[in-house]
A and B are shown apart, each in its own frame.
Chain A
Amino acid sequence: MPQTFSGDTAWVLASTALVLLMTPGLAFFYGGMVRAKSVINMMLMSMSAIGIVTVLWVAYGYSLAFTDSGSKWIGKIAPSHLGSLVNDLANNGAKLAIPVLVFSAFQLMFAVITPALISGSIADRTKFVSWVVFVAIWVTVVYFPVAHWVFYFGNASADGKTITGAGWLAGLGVEDFAGGTAVHINAGAAALAMALLLGRRVGFRKEPMRPHSIPLVMIGAGLLWFGWFGFNAGSALSANGLAGLAFMNTQVATAAALAGWLIVERLRDGHATGLGAASGAVAGLVAITPACAFVTPTGSVFIGLIAGAICAYAVGLKYRFNFDDSLDVVGVHLVGGIVGTLSIGFFGAKAVNSVGLNGLFYGGDLTLLRLQATGAFAVLAFSFVMTLIIGKLIDLTLGLRIDRDAEVEGIDSTEHAETAYELDTRTGGGIFASASSKEA
């Protein structure tokens, strides 16, 4: 029986906390991007995901995603029973030297942030209760199964020689180190489906709807970047050279994508923007997520530059096809996730990770690129179709969208009875504070 290795355990524990921080970071990132009247709702959509998904994870989520049911589609449909696993070591394609509960907590944070990512496409107009119900259903029937496909490498026997029950895509050999498919393509495809179901905001394409606070967006991007080291390097589940490679690649690709986005903006619009820098960084983080432990740092420079430039153009798709993906979840997470997942087919380098295959630029054949395309398309199609069904059912029962007047007045005051900035006379701020009255 292998012992827990304290170094690995410490690193995964720290990574878990880092990944948790990404969700509040996302709340700031998205919260700054909406108009001042929707900030609370936007941030609350992220924060509420922590509450909902954590409870479901302990109830049954861990079991659905990370146990061996003999099926490659889903784990055991049973309660998680985490309390009975306290003394066990994690087992995911191999016996790991960290406790199950540490592994489970780490994976929980991925399950939390994935639905939160979707919220960006439905800003300013979604009934909060419908969002809460959506998150609960979506993680159950979309995220947990997809996490099983991608992240569950099967149950290794005591001697480590036989492995049973690996998830579908993991078993096929699709390379996704930290969630380009399971997290980003998954959330991005769902975001597209939800944006289509909800329809466009009042004033879409007529009013500018500029971000109300770029500094908040920057705080959010900073927290995401910081937390992402846990997301990517923590996914090594060990404090070793692979974690180091993932760490370095995460930094390199993110920096390159930031630069790539700003270059495109400067050439196309004449200005490099703060929002562009923040979005570029996130596009780079998204793209390197699946690739971070399969490519070289040099490869990461190119992956980052390509992702930054492509996503800078991809955020314009919503105007071209007239769907209101409000905060560019499709342009950044879906497109960035696809770029990153496919990039491994070109930049994959067996020299840095013997588990992987060589991509086209490193002497490999098309095998890997085909696998990557399979993984990307499978998750995209499953998530898109399932989300359309879930969203439609909620729309027919609870209704997805707040009414027009409430949307124009501002979802913060109508859904949450709060405003982000108590500056006007109605809410006791400003120079007329003492004269505030309901009729103002």
Chain B
Amino acid sequence: MKLITAIIKPFKLDDVKAAIEHAGITGMTVSEASGYGRQRGHTEVYRGAEYRIDLVPKVRIELVVDDSQVDDLLDRIVDAARTDRIGDGKIWVTTLDDVVRVRTGEHGPGAI
């Protein structure tokens, strides 16, 4: 079992969501996030003054999936989220020890 965490551009959420649904994944958690990577934020002009914005708004998607689904899913998310410009985001994969479904108390892959 793996946790996939994807940080993407907010306007790409719909595309990525559709791609994930296409892959047959049945759940996800989405939250608003902000941060920066190698692009180190961006500059913005407002009322004639230029500002550096460090923390850029992003969307964080978290998915728990079975090991066999990981490679396919990563490809689909990357395809959907990519704009080829800086700040497209990052995806990382974490190994999980256990997963529990709260309603039934099931453990392991069956709880995904």
When distances are taken between beta carbons in the complex, the residues of chain B under 8 Å from A226 are none
When distances are taken between beta carbons in the complex, the residues of chain B under 8 Å from A316 are 47-49
Do A269 and B48 have beta carbons less than 8 Å apart? yes
Question: B45 in the interface, Cβ–Cβ < 8 Å?
Answer: yes
A316 to B46, CA, bound (A): 11
Question: A319 in the interface, Cβ–Cβ < 8 Å?
Answer: yes
Interface size on A, residues (CB 8 A): 17
When distances are taken between beta carbons in the complex, the residues of chain B under 8 Å from A315 are 47-48
A208 to B46, CA, bound (A): 8
Closest to B53 in A: A208
Do B46 and A268 have beta carbons less than 8 Å apart? no
Do B51 and A207 have beta carbons less than 8 Å apart? yes
Question: A275 in the interface, Cβ–Cβ < 8 Å?
Answer: yes
Do A269 and B45 have beta carbons less than 8 Å apart? yes
Q: How far is the CB of A436 from chain B (nearest CB, A)?
A: 20
When distances are taken between beta carbons in the complex, the residues of chain B under 8 Å from A205 are 49
When distances are taken between beta carbons in the complex, the residues of chain A under 8 Å from B84 are none
Do B47 and A275 have beta carbons less than 8 Å apart? yes
Closest to A313 in B: B48
Question: B75 in the interface, Cβ–Cβ < 8 Å?
Answer: no
Q: How far is the CB of A286 from chain B (nearest CB, A)?
A: 17
Question: B44 in the interface, Cβ–Cβ < 8 Å?
Answer: yes
When distances are taken between beta carbons in the complex, the residues of chain B under 8 Å from A270 are 45
Question: A298 in the interface, Cβ–Cβ < 8 Å?
Answer: no
A275 to B53, CA, bound (A): 20
CB contact list, A314-332 vs B, under 8 A: 315-316, 319
Do A273 and B47 have beta carbons less than 8 Å apart? yes
A312 to B49, CA, bound (A): 12
Q: How far is the CB of B67 from chain A (nearest CB, A)?
A: 33
A313 to B52, CA, bound (A): 21
Q: How far is the CB of A324 from chain B (nearest CB, A)?
A: 12
When distances are taken between beta carbons in the complex, the residues of chain B under 8 Å from A208 are 44, 46, 51, 53
Q: How far is the CB of A207 from chain B (nearest CB, A)?
A: 7
A-B contact count (CB 8 A): 29
Most interface-central of B44, B46, B47, B51 (chain A CB within 10 A): B47
Q: How far is the CB of A113 from chain B (nearest CB, A)?
A: 24
When distances are taken between beta carbons in the complex, the residues of chain A under 8 Å from B45 are 269-270
A206 to B41, CA, bound (A): 13
When distances are taken between beta carbons in the complex, the residues of chain B under 8 Å from A268 are 48
Question: A81 in the interface, Cβ–Cβ < 8 Å?
Answer: no
Do B48 and A210 have beta carbons less than 8 Å apart? no
User: Binary interface profile of B, 20-61, with partner A (CB < 8 Å = 1, else 0)?
Assistant: 000000000000000000000000111111011100000000
A270 to B46, CA, bound (A): 10
CB contact list, A294-319 vs B, under 8 A: 312-313, 315-316, 319
Q: How far is the CB of A281 from chain B (nearest CB, A)?
A: 15
Q: How far is the CB of B54 from chain A (nearest CB, A)?
A: 9
When distances are taken between beta carbons in the complex, the residues of chain A under 8 Å from B46 are 208, 210, 269, 273
A200 to B47, CA, bound (A): 18
Closest to A279 in B: B47
User: Binary interface profile of A, 41-65, with partner B (CB < 8 Å = 1, else 0)?
Assistant: 0000000000000000000000000
A312 to B47, CA, bound (A): 8
When distances are taken between beta carbons in the complex, the residues of chain A under 8 Å from B52 are 206
A268 to B50, CA, bound (A): 12
When distances are taken between beta carbons in the complex, the residues of chain A under 8 Å from B44 are 208
A286 to B29, CA, bound (A): 52
When distances are taken between beta carbons in the complex, the residues of chain B under 8 Å from A319 are 48-49
When distances are taken between beta carbons in the complex, the residues of chain B under 8 Å from A276 are 47
A273 to B47, CA, bound (A): 8
List 24 A–B pairs whose Cβ atoms lie within 8 Å, in order of A's numbering. A205-B49, A206-B51, A206-B52, A207-B51, A208-B51, A208-B53, A210-B46, A265-B48, A269-B45, A269-B46, A269-B47, A269-B48, A270-B45, A273-B46, A273-B47, A275-B47, A276-B47, A312-B48, A315-B47, A315-B48, A316-B48, A316-B49, A319-B48, A319-B49
Instruction: List 7 additional contacts besides A208-B46, A269-B46, A313-B48; criterion CB under 8 Å.
Output: A205-B49, A208-B44, A208-B51, A268-B48, A273-B47, A315-B47, A319-B49
